[in-house]
């Protein structure tokens, strides 16, 4: 059946909108049948993406037109639950609005590209939220390049598992955290395939004793990929923060981040500019090495709230490398205070600032 293989190969070229993974490997293509008089493709879009067929139909048609002699195309869409086997295999992935018991809100920290300081920001924000009196956790969702065990000084910590085989998070400076870095050596190159990533992410979300948290901060891997796609399917997130650097070229990256959150159905709380002006460690003078106002212009251009900037401060990097982020090691420093201010803004946006929260816990 050469046609069948051609069709499958063509479908493998089609990306899930907004993501780098193709629709076949993601399991959206339920069935492909080439008969003498028709080519039938059955798609089972994940819940929460009701317009998937509409969006990918033109590309499917265009690609299949290139296969000579292929019988007329018929594309059918079924609900994932319409196929009993698929429904069994995927039931946990397709329940909409899934929450983690005990976890009130989820804040995702993302960026369009790597190295912009996402993990540094995510760690400091989680600590700053805790410093504001909230019960905070950090889930390092960067299963390919976990760095938060180093940043929070818990590298080499052994994780505990309950009798029910649930993972107990590690405590770091008053917050609960889980990272792939607790399970593999940091230098070890980890190349997870899609289905494994889905498994890991689900494990980290639902098989961890997160306990009662006001907010769980997710440190996402850069860009868009399997982790983001899995999260979008597995869990309802309450807010997304896009971290960017001040260069003008960052516009495309932020737009990518914004698109990704839209795909994931996560409300974007705003853009944070990291490593803006350089603050001299000797005289505290701030130099706008990349010019001023870039982040603000960029946020305005994309109609996103601008959440301010965190300067390039050598101490921020150094404290991270030492395992005690600046919010924990030097809480009175201007940088720590900026993170605290940011945490207050975010907790308000997440609806956590209200008086309905029991005040009986502290992180002192
Ligand atoms: N505001 C800052 N001032 C000084 N150094 C910073 C600042 N933010 C981040 N850094 C440093 O920049 C480097 C990259 O930061 P980080 O690892 O947090 O980025 P990332 O976006 O998570 O990267 P990746 O895409 O690899 O996950 C680190 O060495 C970190 O210490
Ligand atoms: Mg990182």
Q: Convert 227-241 into a string of H (helix), E (strand) and C (coil).
A: HHHHHHHHCCCCEEE
Q: Residue 340 C-alpha to ligand 2 middle, in angstroms? A: 20
Residue 151, class by beta-carbon neighbours within 10 Å (0-12 exposed, 13-18 middle, 19+ buried)? buried
Q: Which residue blocks in the chain are alpha helix, DSSP H?
A: 2-11, 52-65, 84-90, 118-131, 148-151, 194-206, 226-234, 250-263, 294-301, 314-322, 326-329, 334-349
| pLDDT < 50: residue spans in the chain | 81-95, 355-364
Nearest CA residue ID for atom 19, ligand 1? 117
What is the CATH T-level fold of the domain 2-88, as seen in this structure? GMP Synthetase; Chain A, domain 3 (3.30.300)
pLDDT of the residue at 257: 87
Nearest CA residue ID for atom 30, ligand 1? 317
274 near 338, Cβ under 8 Å? no
Closest CA to 247 of 291, 192, 311, 213: 291
Nearest CA residue ID for atom 3, ligand 1? 312
Q: Is 145 helix (H, G, I), strand (E, B) or coil?
A: coil
Residue 212, class by beta-carbon neighbours within 10 Å (0-12 exposed, 13-18 middle, 19+ buried)? exposed
Q: Residue 146 C-alpha to ligand 2 middle, in angstroms? A: 7
Distance separating alpha carbons of residues 124 and 344, to the nearest angstrom? 13
Ligand 1 atom index nearest CA of 320: 31
Q: Residue 115 C-alpha to ligand 2 middle, in angstroms? A: 7
Ligand 1: which residues within 6 Å by Cβ?
111, 114-120, 142, 145, 147, 222, 274-275, 310, 312-313, 316-317, 320
Q: Residue 147 C-alpha to ligand 1 middle, in angstroms? A: 10
Nearest CA residue ID for atom 15, ligand 1? 117
pLDDT of the residue at 186: 67
208 near 201, Cβ under 8 Å? no
> Please, where in the chain does CATH 3.40.50.300 lie?
103-349
299 near 270, Cβ under 8 Å? yes
In angstroms, the Cα distances linking 335 to 123, 223, 236, 324 are 13, 26, 31, 14
pLDDT of the residue at 88: 35
> Please, where in the chain does CATH 3.30.300.130 lie?
2-88
Nearest CA residue ID for atom 11, ligand 1? 317
Q: What is the pTM of this model?
A: 0.74
pLDDT of the residue at 87: 35
Q: Residue 120 C-alpha to ligand 1 middle, in angstroms? A: 5
What is the CB neighbour count within 10 angstroms for residue 138? 30
Distance separating alpha carbons of residues 308 and 103, to the nearest angstrom? 27
Determine the CATH number of domain 103-349. 3.40.50.300
Closest CA to 359 of 137, 174, 133: 133
Nearest CA residue ID for atom 9, ligand 1? 117
Neighbouring-strand partners of residue 136: 215
Q: Residue 316 C-alpha to ligand 1 middle, in angstroms? A: 9
């Amino acid at each position: 059946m050469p046609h069948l293989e051609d069709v499958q190969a063509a479908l493998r070229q089609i990306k899930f909108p907004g993501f780098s993974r193709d629709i076949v490997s993601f399991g959206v293509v339920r069935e492909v049948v080439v008969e003498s008089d028709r080519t039938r493709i059955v798609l089972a879009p994940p819940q929460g993406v009701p317009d998937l067929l509409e969006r990918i139909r033109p590309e499917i048609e265009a690609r299949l037109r290139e296969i000579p002699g292929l019988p007329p195309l018929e594309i059918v869409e079924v609900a994932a639950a319409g196929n009993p086997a698929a429904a069994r295999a995927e039931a946990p992935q397709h329940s909409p609005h899934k929450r983690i018991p005990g976890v009130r809100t989820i804040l995702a920290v993302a960026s369009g590209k790597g190295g912009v300081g996402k993990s540094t920001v995510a760690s400091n924000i989680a600590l700053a939220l805790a410093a504001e009196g909230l019960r905070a956790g950090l889930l390092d969702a960067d299963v390919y390049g976990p760095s938060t065990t180093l940043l929070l000084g818990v590298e080499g910590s052994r994780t505990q598992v309950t009798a029910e085989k649930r993972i107990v998070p590690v405590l770091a400076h008053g917050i609960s955290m889980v990272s792939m870095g607790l399970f593999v050596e940091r230098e070890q190159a980890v190349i997870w395939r899609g289905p494994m990533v889905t498994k890991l992410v689900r494990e980290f979300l639902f098989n961890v004793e997160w306990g009662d948290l006001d907010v769980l901060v997710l440190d996402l891997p850069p860009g868009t990929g399997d982790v983001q796609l899995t999260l979008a399917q597995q869990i309802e997130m309450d807010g997304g923060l896009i971290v960017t650097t001040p260069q003008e070229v960052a516009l495309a990256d932020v737009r990518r981040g914004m698109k990704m959150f839209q795909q994931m159905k996560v409300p974007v709380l705003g853009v944070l500019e990291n490593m803006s002006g350089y603050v001299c460690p000797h005289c505290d003078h701030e130099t706008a090495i990349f010019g001023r106002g870039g982040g603000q212009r960029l946020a305005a251009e994309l109609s996103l709230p601008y959440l301010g900037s965190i300067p390039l401060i050598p101490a921020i990097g150094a404290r991270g490398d030492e395992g005690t982020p600046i919010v924990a090691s030097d809480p009175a420093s201007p940088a720590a205070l900026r993170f605290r201010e940011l945490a207050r803004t975010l907790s308000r946006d997440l609806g956590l600032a209200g008086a309905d929260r029991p005040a009986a816990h502290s992180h002192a």
